[in-house]
Structure 1
Amino acid sequence: MQETKPHIQQRRARFVVPSRSDSLLGNFTELIGGPLGRRSSPGAVSPGFFTVERVLIILTIVAALMSILIKGYCRVNGWHTPQQFYATCYSDFPELFSSRGLADGVFPLFDQKTLFEYPVITGLIAGVTAWLVPGHGASPDRILGYFDVNATLIAAMWIVVVLATARINRRRPWDAAMVALAPAIVLAGLINWDMWAVAMLAVGMYFFAKERPVLAGLFIGLGTATKLYPVLILGAVFLLAVRSGRLRVLFVTTLSAAVAWLAVNAPVAAANPAGWRYFFDFTQDRPAGYSSLWFAYNLVAERLRLSQLGPGAINALAMDMFLLACVLIAGLALTAPRRPRLAQLTFLIVAAFVLSNKVYSPQYVLWLVPLLALARPRWLDFLVWQAAEALHWAATWMYLGQISSGGAAQNNIDMPYYVMAVMLHMAVTAYLMLRVAWDIWEPHLDPLRVQGVDDPHGGEFNGAEDWFRVDLKSPASSVLPWRRVAAFSGASKSTGDAAQPEHDSLPSTRGEGERDG
């Protein structure tokens, strides 16, 4: 008779308390009595109305209102150049509403009379929100109404991003406060429609963490049809699939993402081929965009009377730089002593794309904020990075105010200071990449893995063993693509024995309660 195993009651996982796990936040709590006590039980005791998610929503709403208040001068006086730059209230919404025919009833991508330099879903959002504004023509009231409609929807998407980030890892929901309160989102969140793509990727990552790759791929594909960057997560999924041997999740996620992208793009491409293709042609042919490495180089080259880079040369250099970064990230992922987490690899790939891209608009920082909150939730590094991005944000508008007003340099920010702000934001982003890469190479420094978990964002990769790993100490014996090797070690104890993990004390994260940090 088969022996019946006793039922083991699982403990409810408690929250990781920020004031305990982050020394910077712990220091800030001294005025209110210090960090939360060790005998408290967050996550196990009902907080009443003020649950973590409700507090996060309140924080996001407050931050969204602050973001709208920053645009106060333009909301009252209109969006006019150069005043909108000097007042730091510029937004693409009023400009596109007037110049792309949206105010006159033109629907982007479906009306062949005009061209729209954005992907399909962004065009749909731009057209639908224009329909929601009553009246006709680009009157000041309609322009303000168009901005307010889009600002309201972006605030809703912001809440979606915060909730998805909090729910990806139920044990660390407070990490989403970085997204709710990010100064860079407050400053740049209402420039363009990027928050829609950020929300779709965040929801896709949530479903991926819950081991639902079809839904994850669906939202990744929709996000890619809004802004191209969400597709980069598939590179991280590919590396983890190779390392763990779980190729099915890669195929399912990629296939569903491709189907979702095609379902949105194919009808538009068939109805208006030139309008659909214009986004790709515009991206290929445009010169270096503001705040990119290449734009900064051309500014310095012009001042020093050196040869400048044209669109073709920039395209080639940007692609080579990004591919080199991807090769280095792949090497790190396949040689690290322990399999990287999904959020870590995604952050590195997206950050590499941001730094190498021919354009860096101030709102691109939105792409990285949720990824950093998942990859390395350390407030000190986060706030230093946000300060650098805020300085870059202000320098961008001051520089644009100078070139659009034609004023003397002594009354404006001069070009070298703008270039210094660009270099600062790039240097701090590169620093964050190095910190995340070092966490991958030294897993005991990883803010999540020190709590005894593996990859709560990784879905089917969470707790997976290694299937392919390059051991730099003994590469000839460790590159074994058709043999299973240990998850945390590249060598077996003896012939015929399964390799044992180096960190035996780390508990499994599947079906077991996690210890409180």
Structure 2
Amino acid sequence: MTTSTEVRFPLYTRAVPYLPLGLFAALGAILAYVQKLPCRTGGWNAGQTTYTNFCYTDIFPLYFARQLATQNPYFANVPPDQHVEYPVVLGEVMQFFALIARRLAPGNEYEQGVWFYDLTVILLGLCLVIGVLLMAAVAGPTRRWDALWYALAPGVILAAYINWDLIAGALSMGFLLAWARQKHVLAGVLLGLAIATKFYPLMFIGALFLLTVRTMKWRPFLVAVGSAAGAWLLVNLPFMILAWDGWRRFYAFSSERGVDWGSPWLFFQNKGWPVLGTTDVSILGMVSLGILCLGIAVLTIMAPQRPRLAQICFLALAAFMMTNKVWSPQFVLWLVPFAVLARPNWKPLALWQIAEIWYFMAIWLYLLYQDESTRSLGIGDDTYFTAVWGRIITIGIMMAFVVRDILRPDKDLVRQAGIDDQGGGVFDRAPDRFPAFR
């Protein structure tokens, strides 16, 4: 007869190795909060202090700019630029904390904004801890400590609380773990919620599709994609029916938005390059992303051995970021866990993090340069664009190494340990069923 103690003990022993990682992730969350303290203690209303102290965040100002102090911006009859420009999961997270903030500081909107920031940061810190633990579980026992990169990478600490991206990060890691454990409905639901939080997880469907072609494991793929579509529709449909203008703001804004900070297209426009600097950026971005995705598809299908899921997710996500119209500092949070799972080699990761640190500093100094009164404190175009290209080049280097690992699986650090695909789920050790590989 099995006692309750005997049942609990294995669970306890499996959890113990994750406790230090959880503590390191909590440390990263705290360091991220400390980094924003110059703004938290009064800098938000002090002109350019948010830039000179490198502590800018969207969270506090959007409480006021999106009318969260008085109404739900999806349903309110307000101008389009006052609707929340995010998918509905993020918008309703914002509204939920706004309701609490209004109750905690009635009649004092500034204090409400501070409460809104603090409550949001608590959630984001928890999402970082959860994301790190989920990533460690995906990595498996032999590579569990690779998740330290997600917990303590400088780019993560600096960008953690600029925006709400860590929520999508936790959902994306949850999707990857559920897929690895072959819980395909749960994986799809988490992926659908992630897409309803930030749009970038949509790229992972393409990665699943390509590896499904290599293995012919169609049922898990279709179940996951169907579940993702159902979860996305479930959270979006009420807003599509009841608040169409507010709901469509994110999609209209993404379509109409011009070239913005961090994007290589900004460099081409600034320098007036023919074609690259003069053609519609939306067209250029779609065409260049399409070309890169086609290359990833050919690589996946023609590789001598089926690539790992994390490798294709990383390549697809990096391609999406590098061709986008905007590349905000917090986008580093999207890529870190997938970059580490794809190729856990510290040298290119460290080089990339140095580039992310430089970009994080450069963007705020460049914004100071845009204002005549603070120009002497900032940096000009040429210096700023060294930071833009620093990120592009270092991520390109990591992509090149991942491509090399796919073409030469013996160079893959993960597979050198006798692992096939720790996050692949049904793809793990699956034979190639594509006709060319029979």
Into which bin does the TM-score normalised by the smaller protein fall? Answer: over 0.9
* Aligned AA (2:321): V
Q: Confirm or deny that 1:59 pairs with 2:21.
A: no
- The within-5 A match list for 1:151-230 is 151-171=121-141, 172-230=143-201
Please report how far the alpha carbon of residue 275 of structure 1 lies from its aligned counterpart in structure 2 after TM superposition: 1.1
Structure 1 residues 178 and 253: alpha-carbon distance in aligned structure 2, compared to 1, 3 A threshold: same
Q: Aligned in 2, Cα 1:48/1:258: closer, same or farther, shift over 3 Å?
A: closer
**1:131 corresponding residue in structure 2:** 99
Aligned position for 1:112: 77
Q: Does 1:341 align with 2:278?
A: no
1:465 match: secondary structure: coil
Cα distance in structure 1, aligned partners of 2:427 and 2:90 = 32
Aligned counterparts of 1:137 and 1:390: Cα–Cα separation in 2: 39
Determine if the alignment matches structure 1 residue 266 to structure 2 residue 237: yes
Which residue of structure 1 aligns with residue 282 of structure 2?
315
Residues 201 and 219, structure 1, Cα contact 8 Å, conserved in 2? yes
Change beyond 3 A, Cα 1:190–1:416: same
How many angstroms does 1:143 deviate by? 2.0
Please give the alpha-carbon distance, in whole angstroms, between the structure 2 residues aligned to 1:138 and 1:284.
Answer: 36
Q: Distance in 1 between matches of 2:191 and 2:429?
A: 23
1:204 Cα offset (Å): 0.6
Partner SS for 2:162: coil
Counterpart Cα distance in 1 of 2:325 and 2:159? 19
Cα distance change on mapping 1:337 and 1:49 into 2, 3 Å: closer
Q: Structure 2 CA distance, aligned partners of 1:54 and 1:449?
A: 26
| Structure 1 counterpart of 2:311, one-letter code | Q
Shift, 1:309, TM fit: 5.0
Superposed displacement of residue 307, structure 1: 9.0
Question: How far off is 1:170 after superposition?
Answer: 2.5
User: Cα–Cα, structure 1 residues 445 and 270, in superposed 2: closer, same or farther, change >3 Å?
Assistant: same
Higher alpha-carbon Rg: 1
Per-residue CA deviations over 1:387-446 (Å, capped at 9, x if unaligned) read 1111101100111122145434x5421111001110111111111111111111110110
- What is the CA-CA distance between 1:174 and the residue it aligns to? 0.8
Give the length in aligned residue pairs: 422
Unaligned runs of 5+ in 2: 1-9
The range that moved more, 343-352 or 76-85, is 76-85
Secondary structure class of the residue paired with 1:89: coil
Cα separation, 1, equivalents of 2:148 and 2:12:
17
Partner of 2:5: none
Q: Secondary structure at the match of 1:116?
A: coil
Taking the aligned partners of 1:451 and 1:376, their CA distance within structure 2 comes to 13
Whole-angstrom distance in 2 between the partners of 1:46 and 1:291: 45
Give TM-score, length-normalised by structure 2. 0.92
- Map of 1:382 onto structure 2: 349
Alignment identity in percent?
35
Looking at structure 1, the residues matched to 110 and 254 of structure 2 have their Cα atoms a distance apart, in angstroms, of 31
Give CA-to-partner distance per residue, 1:69-102, whole Å, 9 cap, x none. Answer: 1111111123143110111010001110111111
Whether 1:281 and 2:270 are equivalent positions in the alignment is no
Q: Contact conserved, 2:322 with 2:392, CA < 8 A, in 1?
A: yes
SS in structure 1 opposite 2:259? coil
Aligned in 2, Cα 1:350/1:145: closer, same or farther, shift over 3 Å?
same
Q: Are 1:418 and 2:384 counterparts?
A: yes
Structure 1 residue 92 corresponds to structure 2 residue 62: no
Q: Which moved more, 1:182-191 or 1:52-61?
A: 52-61
CA deviation vs aligned residue, 1:213-251 (integer Å, no higher than 9, x gap): 110000000000000111111101000000111111211
Contact 2:192 2:232 in 1 (8 A): yes
1:324 alignment partner, one of 291, 294, 298: 291
Partner Cα distance (2:409, 2:330) in 1: 31
Aligned partners of 2:26 and 2:125 also within 8 Å:
yes
Indicate whether 1:73 and 2:38 are aligned. Answer: yes
**Is the CA contact 1:233–1:346 (under 8 Å) kept in the aligned structure 2?**
yes
Question: Please, what is the CA RMSD of the aligned residues?
Answer: 2.1
Question: 1:359 aligned to 2:329?
Answer: no
1:77 maps to a residue whose letter is G
Q: Provide the C-alpha distance between the structure 1 equivalents of 2:129 and 2:372, rounded to a whole number of angstroms.
A: 37
Alignment CA distance shift 1:389-1:247 (3 Å): same
Question: What is residue 208 of structure 2 aligned with on the other side?
Answer: 237
Please list the CA deviations of residues 240-267 of structure 1 after superposition, one character each: whole Å capped at 9, or x if unmatched. 0001111112111111100000001111
Instruction: Point out where structure 1 has 5 or more consecutive residues left out of the alignment.
Output: 1-44, 469-479, 486-517
- Cα distance in structure 1, aligned partners of 2:425 and 2:11: 28
User: Aligned in 2, Cα 1:308/1:383: closer, same or farther, shift over 3 Å?
Assistant: closer
Deviation at 1:141, TM superposition (A): 2.4
Matches of 2:366 and 2:108, distance apart in 1: 27
